[in-house]
DNA sequence: GATCGGTGAATTGTTCAACAATCCCCATGA
DNA sequence: TCATGGGGATTGTTGAACAATTCACCGATC
């Protein structure tokens, strides 16, 4: 056919064309509200009220709940409803355990990373620096998440990407549950820059070591802040 | 109150008491059928037909579909229905990439593993040896999965357990898609025994090395068998 | 005064029926 | 042979209905 040439140029539009279900869009909206704190940990989500507010039926809303439940952002208590998850201390430790395994592995094999993957790490670093310059602490947190997502992407593994994305979303819940999340992220901007530089220079083992130290420090800090912030 | 003492002894019953929803039970039933091959990769699951066969409504069935979709056992194509996933070569490689990261990490920190975790690895080894003795190749495969699940459990991390469980379930799909799955697992029974022995002796780095070699060999073998078995 | 038990409203779990939107097959026509 | 366009089948979504369960309230009992 005459139009066959240049067809591959349209392949980028595939994602945009894929219609998504109502349930998925509802899940996206809810995820946003949960992550930015509009829906606080522990809050109960009434099927009737929320469905009416969002203009969707209860069945559709329940599908969305299921999606977010599998991301551990919501917990589903049988016959009792769904609630925004309330991470505990054990969850913080567990999140870091898995992140350690996956992100460190990704960094160590960064030499086999796909084209442009390291550059995306750098972009996240700059985003963080810019936000820090503006004094936008929430923006710094977002950039930080993107930084670690980019680190995970070095593994060139869709499943790693997905798992890490879930872990990081859950981690944002932890920030809401702890005391003084405001200045948690800012100190790490410089470290991110250092890690990125090491990656660019191919000094992977050193980068992994820096990252490992970061995990130690951040986890300890988080555990402490969390113990203070939570009741108990 | 007089009954407060010894209450914590009952906490183990919590799981057993939790009633499960119909959707979850349906998902369990379907998962079993998918894993044991009764529902072949690529098969389409009609909402109407399956709902009638299982005696549940379409809505409930759709909830079950969503659950299995997140385990990557089903793929949901919008407006087209759900199908049993058909893993490709890239999926095999990706599965092993993540398994490598998580299982190796778990083995390396086995010294901090919970009480009895190493023993459960041993139990899986013996289960495999028994099945091999009976010539029950499918049983050997099941024991092998349990072996690796037990390895992952050394990390003492609920999220690791869950991710690995999903990865292994998906891997069983790969076995159905490849040629000659019959004698794939049997050769590894002896290796499992060796790894368990190293774990018992606390020689963790050696155990990790054996496991790493296993991943190399198994992945290559699987990739080859898969290329032959699949059309292409 | 604290505990126990029951009543009832509110919410969830599940089903059913309906309709719109979409896909896929197939016949039609050039 | 290939494009075109129905038409049937299936999914997406809604709304209503009913059973099952939870929870808060309130009185009864010791």
pLDDT per residue of chain A (232 residues) written in tens, 0 to 9: 434 444 444 444 444 455 688 999 999 999 999 998 999 999 999 999 999 999 999 999 999 999 899 899 999 999 999 999 999 999 999 999 999 999 999 999 999 999 999 999 999 999 999 999 999 999 999 999 999 999 999 999 999 999 999 999 999 999 887 777 778 899 999 999 999 999 999 999 999 999 999 999 999 999 988 777 554 3
Give me A98's structure tokens.
Answer: 């898995």
What are the residue ranges spanned by the domains of chain B?
19-84, 89-229
The region that residue B202 occupies, defined by phi over 0 for left and psi between -120 and 50 for alpha, beta otherwise, is: left
User: From the CA of A151, how many Å to the nearest CA of chain B?
Assistant: 14
Beta bridge mates, B81: B77
Q: Collect the ranges in chain B with pLDDT lower than 50.
A: 1-16, 231-232
CB A76 within 8 A of CB A82: yes
* Closest residue on chain B to A98 (Cα): B160
The pLDDT score that the predictor gives to residue B232 is: 39
Helix (H, G, I), strand (E, B) or coil at B180: coil
pLDDT score at A14: 44
Residue A183: what are its φ and ψ, rounded to 5°?
-105, 30
Q: Which CATH architecture has domain A18-84?
A: Orthogonal Bundle (1.10)
A57, closest nucleotide (Cα–C1'): D14
Residue B51: what pLDDT?
Answer: 94
Nucleotide nearest to B1 (CA to C1'): C3
Q: Which residues pair with B84 in a beta bridge?
A: B74
What is the widest separation between alpha-carbon atoms in chain B?
Answer: 70
Cβ of residue A3 near strand C, that is under 7 Å? no
* pLDDT at res. B48: 93
Flag if B18 and A158 touch (Cβ within 8 Å). no
Please report the sign of the dihedral spanned by the C-alpha atoms of residue B67, residue B68, residue B72, residue B74.
negative
A162/B contact by beta carbon, under 8 A: no
* Interchain contact A100–B (C-beta under 8 A): yes
Q: How far apart (Å, rounded) are the C-alpha atoms in residues A106 and B4?
A: 49
If one counts every other C-beta atom within 10 angstroms of the C-beta of residue B25, the result is: 15
3-class DSSP string for A53-86: HHCCCHHHHHHHHHHHHHCCCEEEECCCEEEECC
Question: How confident is the model at residue B180, as a pLDDT?
Answer: 72
Nearest to A97 among B20, B100, B157 (CB): B157
Q: Quick check: do A18-84 and A89-229 share a fold?
A: no
pLDDT given for residue A8 in this prediction: 46
In CATH, what class is A89-229?
Answer: mainly alpha
* Start-to-end Cα distance in chain B: 70
**CATH classification code of B19-84:** 1.10.10.10
Cβ neighbours for B23, distance < 8 A, ≥ 6 positions apart: B60, B61, B63, B64, B67
Q: What's the pLDDT at B101?
A: 98
How many CA within 13 A on the CB side of residue B88? 2
Contact A58, A48 (CB under 8 A): yes
| CA–C1' A217–C14 (A) | 49
Question: CB–CB of A101 and B102 under 8 A?
Answer: yes
């Amino acid at each position: 056919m005459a139009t066959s040439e240049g067809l591959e140029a349209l392949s980028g539009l595939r994602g945009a064309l894929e219609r998504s279900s109502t349930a998925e869009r509802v899940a996206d909206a809810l995820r946003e509200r949960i992550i930015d704190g509009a829906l606080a940990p522990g809050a109960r989500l009434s099927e009737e009220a929320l469905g009416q507010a969002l203009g969707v039926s209860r069945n559709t809303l329940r599908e969305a709940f299921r999606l977010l439940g599998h991301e551990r952002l919501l917990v589903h208590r049988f016959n009792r409803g769904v609630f925004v998850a309330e991470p505990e201390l054990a969850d913080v430790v567990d999140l870091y355990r898995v992140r350690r395994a996956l992100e460190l592995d990704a960094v160590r094999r960064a030499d086999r990373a796909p084209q442009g993957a390291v550059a995306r790490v750098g972009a996240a670093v700059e985003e963080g620096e810019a936000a820090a310059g503006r004094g936008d602490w929430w923006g710094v947190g977002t950039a930080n998440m993107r930084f670690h997502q980019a680190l995970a992407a070095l593994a060139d593994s869709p499943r790693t990407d997905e798992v890490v994305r879930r872990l990081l979303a859950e981690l944002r819940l932890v920030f809401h549950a702890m005391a003084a999340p405001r200045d948690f992220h800012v100190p790490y901007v410089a470290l991110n820059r250092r890690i990125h530089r090491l990656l660019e220079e191919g000094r992977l083992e050193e980068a992994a070591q820096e990252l490992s130290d970061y995990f130690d420090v951040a986890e300890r800090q988080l555990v402490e802040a969390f113990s203070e912030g939570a009741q108990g």
